[in-house]
Amino acid sequence: MTIANLVTPERVVPLDPHLPIPQHVGIIMDGNGRWARARGLSRMEGHRAGTRNIRRVLEEAVRIGIKVLTIYAFSTENWGRPRAEVSHLMRLISESIRNELDELDAQGVQIRHSGRLAGVSAYLQKQIRGAIERTRHNDRIILNVAFNYGGRAEIIDAIKHIIEDGVKPEDVDEALVGRYLYTAGLPDPDMIIRTGGEYRLSNFLIWQAAYAEYYATPTFWPDFDEAELRMAIAVYQSRERRFGLVK
């Protein structure tokens, strides 16, 4: 699929060209299991359908003008799921890198990783590092994959590294902490989208999203298509961001 043939005309949700587009969007991709159950399928098939949907949303993000897309692929808490499901998710991530990397690189996608690699198989670690290195100079869009990620774990890791580096307490401020987070160098998210009808942060970008606009939809992730993304961005454009101030 190319960037040019994404949305059929009858499904395009218009966006106001005079209003800002969020430069960094984070997505909590929820509802794969419920999507599968509603169709009499296994949870594994739901996760596979959700994985396939990433490309569709990523390409529409490029079309809209979003510069950074952070997807919540696997949390630090997800290790507590049944062993078979965790193993399947690890295989899906490995397969996705193997099958998608050439095309993502050709399309100018820069891949980044937010999270811990400890506990991940050596082979998958090598794949992740290889994808990051191969695409590091691409600049069409950044796909930041929050994998083995937890917002609290991220803050704990940042604190540990600040202490290890001998930073004086009086030198600690928000900018310094930001440089120690997994997302160092990326702008804070302007918008967080959660699919699947839930209203929780689920430990996702809890530092960075302090002033992000939130959007929740009942649509399960595998069904979250180009028109759904545009609807979310249209809602973003309708809001007034004040960052704790008054107009």
Q: Which of 30, 53, 148, 203 is catalytic?
A: 30
Residue in the block written with tokens 């454009």: 237
What token pair was written down for 149?
């990620």
Q: 78, 157, 223, 225: which one is catalytic?
A: 78
pLDDT in tens, the chain (247 residues): 333 334 444 566 889 999 999 999 999 999 999 999 999 999 999 999 999 999 999 999 999 999 999 999 999 999 999 999 999 999 999 999 999 999 999 999 999 999 999 999 999 999 999 999 999 999 999 999 999 999 999 999 999 999 999 999 999 999 999 999 999 999 999 999 999 999 999 999 999 999 999 999 999 999 999 999 999 999 999 998 877 776 7
Going by C-alpha positions, the residue among 62, 16, 13, 67 that lies closest to residue 239 is: 16
Residue 16 is a catalytic residue: no
- Give the list of residues 6+ apart from residue 101 with CB closer than 8 angstroms, or none: 111, 131, 134, 135
pTM: 0.92
Determine whether 30 is an active site residue.
Answer: yes
The domains found in the chain, sorted by start residue, are 20-149+189-237 (3.40.1180.10)
The distance from CA 45 to its chain's CA centroid, rounded to whole angstroms, is 21
List Cβ neighbours of 223 (8 Å cut-off, separation of 6 or more): 35, 53
